[in-house]
Amino acid sequence: MTTSRRLVSAAAVLWVLLLFGTLFVIVTRFGDDGALHEPKIGKTEILEEEDLEQVTHKVYFDIEINGKPIGEKGTGMSRKPLHYKGSAFHRIIPSFMIQGGDFTLGDGRGGESIYGDSFADENFKLQHTGPGILSMANAGPDTNGSQFFITTVKTSWLDGRHVVFGKVLSGMDVVYKVEEVGQNGVPKSKVVITDSGELPL
């Protein structure tokens, strides 16, 4: 892999390698005021000491489209490993979002969590304020599993219905490359997470 991994700030990083590009996402943590704390990224994109307190986890995804390069938690009830490695972005809608995380069926009907089939909504403090928001996909209240989506536009109609847990801080160009293979939901090309895991803080 020729692309170097760079540190960025906010609260857990999702790293996506797509067509030799790198996507960084950090899962955010709320402050005492319940507000999303925006990252302080300078030209060097190095974490500042005060930002380290907000970082909870850093994770990454390596992705392929049609075989070209662009976090495991044990085994679930489906007897499949609980990680995104080998799973696809099965739903891609331009000017809306890219969705993945169904590692059991691969078509949007499956997935599971470390808590079993699904788990309750944590809270709706963060909102879908624009492109690059990382949020839980669900089938209604308290039905979160392993599926997630990344917005490519502001999606305020999802506020109060989907739990936001992260934000893309660098690499939206990679998200937009994935978005380009979308049509009305079904991708024109196969988009696969070739690897995933947690990075050291």
Active site residues: 91, 96, 99, 138, 149, 158, 162
Q: List the beta strands (DSSP E) in 3-93.
A: 16-18, 21-26, 58-65, 68-69, 91-93
CA angle, residues 113, 129, 26, in degrees to nearest 5: 50
The helix (H) or strand (E) run that includes residue 178 is helix 172-180
- The answer to whether 59 and 109 are in contact (CB under 8 A) is no
Q: For the chain, percent helix, then strand, then coil, each to nearest 5?
A: 10, 30, 60
Tell me the pairing of strands 97-100 and 91-93: antiparallel
State how far the alpha carbon of 50 is from the alpha carbons of 53, 57, 175, in Å.
6, 16, 28
The 3-state DSSP class for residue 53 equals helix
- The answer to whether 137 and 162 are in contact (CB under 8 A) is yes
Q: Smallest Cα–Cα separation from 52: which of 15, 8, 22, 14?
A: 8
Q: Report the distance separating Cα 5 and Cα 60, nearest Å.
A: 9
